[in-house]
Amino acid sequence: MNSERVRVCNEKPIDANKPYVLYWMQAYRRFDANHAFSHAVQLAKELKKELIVYEGLRMDYPWNSERIHQFILEGMFENQTRADELGIQYWPFVETSENSGKGLLKDICKDAAVVVTDDFPCFIIPKQTSQLAKKIQCQLLSIDGNSIIPLSRFPKQASAARILRLWIHKEIQKDFPNPNVTIWKKEDLMGVKGNSKTNPKIGLPKSISEVIKRIPFQNQVSPVKNVKGGRKEALRFLDEFLKQKLNLYLTKRSEPNRPELTATSGLSPYLHFGWIGLEEIFYAVLKHSTKGKWNPERMSHEKPGDRENFYSPSVACNHFLDELITWRDIGYLFFWKDKPENINLNHLPDWVKANFVKHNNDHKEYLYTLEQFESAKTHDEIWNAAQTELVHTGRMHNYMRMLWGKKVIEWSKSYEEAFQILEHLNNKYAYDGRNPNSYTGILWCFGLFDRPWFPERNVFGNVRFMSSESTKKKFKLNSYLEYIGELSGKSNSLFP
């Protein structure tokens, strides 16, 4: 394991007298192509210990809902099947009554020589990790499997995508990531199989519906029909993208349309829950775009920082990889460097803050409350369509997401209230919400990672402005609006 990915979370020893190494699967919810799982296997082999994998699902996480719960549980059932195939000890726990999970993980850690977990930098995970690190007697290591380049390689947060792009291209040239992602075979894991006694609370319920019925969710958000969590579905999305959409990524990606006609991958929910690895997507895309003939020599070594031409001779492929690596990583790096617990507008650059002081009291033609936004009752048909898509499908097209965020800034009482509304709606409804890119995506609407734009505008000042009128001119929206009409026609109310 590359030590650049390993963070020691407490000053406690590895206890060689204990029977197992524990992998606490928190964010990257898969066995294959997973840096943290690989590290745990390696440690178990070195220490000659059994390996236990613990995956928990608590009831009370912020923005909990039937939608998110069902999605995660589908992945857990698949993990059980994969663990059985590999013959490893997988200990899932699903909390169904208040506090029934309290102290469970700490108890399981009592028999661990060392605990390994995921160094995901956002939401409840950093706090859960630091709390466990204090409570247990053995060493806790968290592994950065967030991207193809270990985030510790970057000197600081990047203030713009062009800066991070250059750093990434230079790092990749120095040391190309190993293209052989680990897809495990039973034989590879023979040495770490064990028979430690499980806690009686461990085990999956008989069915997902049985769990869902028992939990008093704080948010009433229904699962979306035909949307399924888990690794198999992630790999299916990747395959479909390669075969049908990658070639169109350059020309059609930004055009809002019904999902089957949108040239994007749809992978963000699967990346968020860790059912597919960055390296898997990265190599699959490079291989596909060069008909299997790609190798690191095919990178454009003279042009680090060149978005169009760097990775492969295919411009569409380069654009996709730039979103997957530069734009995704800029959000992960933003969180990973400081792990801020509370994200708010103080994280914006000084030029934006000065701008907002100047325009704080500007006149606003429309003002809406959270309830009006949530039920898609604004004067603007395009904005309402985007919000309806989010509520009904748990997704929103990237271009619409940018417009959606900008308009909430324009139509809210204050900048702070706009941020809170966007955070709430995005994290409540989106399958990919509660992610570093949720926050950096929202803050981008406020000017993060962007530059000043001219002329200076009402409310926005020099922050980039977007309008529904120009969106209508830029794209043919008929098919998208028809799709949204079909979605809302299926239900009498936006609220399930």
Binding residues vs ligand FAD (CB under 6 A): 253, 264-268, 271-272, 323-324, 327-328, 331, 398, 401-402, 405, 426, 430, 432-433, 435, 437-438, 441-442, 444-445
Q: Are 344 and 126 in contact (CB under 8 A)?
A: no
Q: How far is the CB of 442 from ligand FAD (least distance, A)?
A: 5
Q: How far is the CB of 215 from ligand FAD (least distance, A)?
A: 23
Decide if 49 contacts 15 (C-beta within 8 A). Answer: no
For residues 62 and 428, the answer to whether their CB atoms sit within 8 Å is no
Q: Give yes or no for a contact between 227 and 432, defined as CB atoms under 8 angstroms apart.
A: no
- Residues 76, 282, 448: CA angle, nearest 5 degrees: 90
Distance of closest approach, residue 259 Cβ to ligand FAD, in angstroms: 9
Tokens of 305: 């920082």
Give the separation between CA 455 and CA 465, rounded to whole angstroms.
Answer: 10
Joined together, the tokens standing for residue 21 give 């190494």
Least distance from ligand FAD to the Cβ atom of residue 118, Å: 16
| Closest of 83, 124, 132 to residue 107, by C-alpha | 132
Closest to ligand FAD by CB, 274 or 441: 441
Cβ closest to ligand FAD, residue 146 vs residue 438: 438
Name the residue whose CB lies closest to ligand FAD: 441
Nearer to ligand FAD, 95 or 432 (CB): 432
- Residue with Cβ nearer ligand FAD (56 or 331): 331
Q: Decide the pairing of beta strands 6-8 and 139-143.
A: antiparallel
Q: What is the DSSP string of 221-265?
A: -PPPTT---SHHHHHHHHHHHHHHTGGGHHHHTTS---GGG--S-
Closer CB to ligand FAD, residue 109 or residue 402? 402
Whichever of 6 and 324 has its CB closer to ligand FAD, that residue is 324
Q: How far is the CB of 37 from ligand FAD (least distance, A)?
A: 21
Q: Which of 101, 128, 116 is nearest to 192 (CA)?
A: 116
- Give the span between the Cα atoms of 395 and 404, in whole angstroms: 12
Q: Which is nearer to ligand FAD, 30 or 328 (by Cβ)?
A: 328
- Distance in Å, CB of 71 to ligand FAD, minimum: 14
Q: How far is the CB of 267 from ligand FAD (least distance, A)?
A: 4
